[in-house]
Amino acid sequence: MAFAVEINDLKKQFKDSYQPALDGLTLRVNEKQVIGLLGPNGAGKTTTINILCGLVTADSGEAKIFDRDCGKEQNYLRNIIGVVPQRIALFSHLTAWENFKYIGRLYGLHENTISERAQKLLERLGLEKHAHKRVGTFSGGMKRRANIIASLLHHPRLIILDEPTAGVDVQSRAMILEFLSEYKEHGKTILYTSHLMEEAEQLCDEVVIVDEGKFVVSGTPTDLVKNTANCNKLEDVFLHYTGHTLRD
Ligand SMILES: Nc1ncnc2c1ncn2[C@@H]1O[C@H](COP(=O)(O)OP(=O)(O)O)[C@@H](O)[C@H]1O
Ligand SMILES: [Mg+2]
């Protein structure tokens, strides 16, 4: 079986940066799981996601989604992956519904299909009463939930979320986490980044810790805690491997 995500020796040096964003990153993500990509600020998580989505080109190495090269096969992959970026990617002057119609059409979906799917997701994510309000008027949590809906309209097999619970209220966060667990039950794969270890420990089947553009360790949260000396929770494991130095 192909991996959902397979990254081999990926390197990326931005021109105006003094250190590489990715320095030979290698990792594997199994299908039909929730995987947490964890790492301190500047570890290379967003760069990795941008390469997977075809937004950034790697200098060298390999990034594949279901065995398809991310640099070369974005037209194919676009229909298979759904992306929720760190910064909300919706038109703030349009209503949620207008955004969904626009994005759905970009994916070549039929009007009725878009309406049906959007309606279901709006209800599931508690936004049905706000469908016809402008996104610019939404709270952070509402924008994030709306962005998740937009990324799922084409029923992707892999959903990639960059810090989906950062800056959202507690209730939105709980709903998003519950929703992601449920989404996995439909045979989907979820790759998400977070710096909330307690959350990752609850949600993830497996976590991958990266630092300074390199793979550090991976495993189930339970195994990692068990196999790392003097650790009682995932946060201890994270600090054990990434140290206590601040990364501002
Ligand atoms: N467009 C860019 N131009 C220059 N440097 C960048 C750019 N994007 C990321 N970087 C640098 O690459 C490193 C990794 O960044 P990033 O992938 O955003 O990390 P993370 O998401 O784990 O916080 C950081 O040192 C960051 O400053
Ligand atoms: Mg980031």
Indicate whether residue 18 lines ligand 1 (CB < 6 A): no
Q: Which of 6, 15, 144 is nearest to 68 (CA)?
A: 6
- For the record, the structure tokens of 121 come out as 């997701």
pLDDT in tens, 18-53: 999 999 999 999 999 999 999 999 999 999 999 999
| Mutational pocket test of ligand 1: of 17, 194, 195, 246, the residue with most ligand atoms within 8 Å of the beta carbon | 17
Indicate whether residue 50 lines ligand 1 (CB < 6 A): no
Mean pLDDT of 71-79: 93
Please tell me the distance between residue 46's alpha carbon and the centre of ligand 2 in angstroms: 4
Indicate whether residue 47 lines ligand 1 (CB < 6 A): yes
pLDDT value of position 24? 98
Task: Identify the structural domains of the chain with CATH numbers, from first to last.
Answer: 1-64+202-211+241-248 (3.40.50.300)
pLDDT value of position 43? 96
pLDDT in tens, 166-208: 989 999 999 999 999 999 999 999 999 998 999 999 999 999 9
User: In this structure, what are the phi and psi dihedrals at residue 94, rounded to the nearest 5 degrees?
Assistant: -105, 160
Alpha-carbon distance of 40 to 32, in angstroms, equals: 26
Q: Which of 199, 203, 207, 205 is nearest to 228 (CA)?
A: 207
Q: Is the dihedral of CA 226, 230, 234, 239 positive or negative?
A: negative
Higher-scoring residue by pLDDT: 214, 2: 214
Please report, rounded to a whole number, the percentage of residues in the chain having pLDDT higher than 90: 95
- Which burial class, exposed, middle or buried, applies to 219 when counting CB atoms under 10 A from its CB (0-12, 13-18, 19+)? middle
- Which run of H or of E encompasses 103? helix 96-106
Position in ligand 1 atom list of the atom nearest CA 86: 21
The Cβ of residue 238 has, within 10 Å, a number of other Cβ atoms equal to: 25
Whether the CB-CB separation of 66 and 80 falls below 8 Å is answered with yes
pLDDT band at 248 (very low <50, low <70, confident <90, very high): confident
Please tell me the distance between residue 200's alpha carbon and the centre of ligand 2 in angstroms: 16
Gyration radius from the chain CA atoms: 18
pLDDT value of position 247? 80
- Nearest-CA residue for ligand 1 atom 11 is 21
Sheet (strand 5-12) strand order = 22-29, 5-12, 60-65, 68-69
Please tell me the distance between residue 217's alpha carbon and the centre of ligand 1 in angstroms: 21
Q: How far is CA 106 from CA 25, 174, 190, in A?
A: 32, 30, 22
Q: Please state, rounded to an integer, the average pLDDT across all residues of the chain.
A: 95
- Nearest-CA residue for ligand 1 atom 7 is 14
